[in-house]
Amino acid sequence: MKKKAATGMHGDCGPKHLAIKDTMELLSGKWKIQIIGALMRNGTMRFMDLLREVDGIAAKMLSKELQELEINELVKRTVCDTKPITVEYEMTTYGRTLEKVIAELAHWGELHRKRIFKKSK
Amino acid sequence: MKKKAATGMHGDCGPKHLAIKDTMELLSGKWKIQIIGALMRNGTMRFMDLLREVDGIAAKMLSKELQELEINELVKRTVCDTKPITVEYEMTTYGRTLEKVIAELAHWGELHRKRIFKKSK
DNA sequence: CAGGATCCTTTACGATACTG
DNA sequence: CAGTATCGTAAAGGATCCTG
């Protein structure tokens, strides 16, 4: 079964709402943002490097998430012709356009933490 | 069991990453953004109004999502003393600070749709 | 090394019925 | 009207083993 990029083409026409949903689905889940973050900080990384840096992730998950990111052209996958082959991943320039979005998420999140912490004492 | 606002205090200190996660968790799921969108567009709405406007949502879900939004101070809940009681919901001014974040999500999502559609023909 | 296959657990979500 | 309770399904995520 062929996989497709995230662009939910359901008949109903909520205009902006679908675009938001696309972005959210791309970034949702337990690992996507951590993987993107690691790649943005470190540049090119091998599968193993990611497996170590992303903390608790299992190989299966990492593999699956990277495929999604690749399909959506956020990440470039390069197979290196070494003895046991290695694979390198890096953000595409397109993928880096997410930086603004993520920065906004981080900024609001920090405000929110401050606000909620203050209330709880 | 008392519910708490979304501020994942796990021991590990990924600094920005936790803030991002908070924001994502708050907006994730099938309904949150649609509910927020409806309230932002329409101002004050009763439970029933939301039930109709948010399309396929079930009362249980709507109720649960609204509670989360209320706990995080994004939405204000007001019980009206009518015959069968009614309840009104509206965005708090704090909740409206999400507008920028959501706008960013929408903007990037639209770029992404154009990009992915173009490739598929 | 990079990942696919299999199996299992957990969480999200949904349908229906009921109450103040 | 505005929910809560109960139950059931589907999807996300995790553990382990296997292969080129």
CA distance A83 to chain B (A): 35
Decide if pLDDT at B88 tops 70: yes
The yes-or-no verdict on residue B13 having pLDDT over 60 is no
Task: Give chain B's domains with CATH numbers.
Answer: 14-119 (1.10.10.10)
- What pLDDT was estimated at residue A13? 46
The pTM of this model reads 0.89
Pairing of strands A86-91, B75-80: unpaired
Q: Which residue of A has its CA nearest to B32?
A: A21
pLDDT digits (tens, 9 = 90+) for B95-113: 999 999 999 999 999 999 9
Those residues with Cβ within 8 angstroms of residue B69's Cβ, 6 or more apart along the chain or in another chain: B32, B35, B36, B75, B95
Q: Name beta bridge partners: A90.
A: A76
Torsional sign, CA A119, A120, B3, B7:
positive
pLDDT band at B1 (very low <50, low <70, confident <90, very high): very low
Over residues B12-28, the mean pLDDT reads 86
Whether residue B12 is predicted with pLDDT greater than 60 in this model: the reply is no
Task: Report the pLDDT value the prediction gives residue B117, as an integer from 0 to 100.
Answer: 81
Tokens of A100: 């603004």
Is the minimum CB–CB distance between B99 and chain A shorter than 8 Å?
Answer: no
- Token output for B68: 């989360």
Neighbours of A8 (CB within 10 A): 10
Q: What distance in Å separates residue B83's CA from the closest CA in chain A?
A: 34
For chain A, which ranges sit under pLDDT 70? 1-14, 121
pLDDT per position as a tens digit, B29-54:
999 999 999 999 999 999 999 999 99
Query: Would you call B121 an interface residue with chain A, using a CB distance cutoff of 8 Å?
Result: no
pLDDT of residue A6: 59
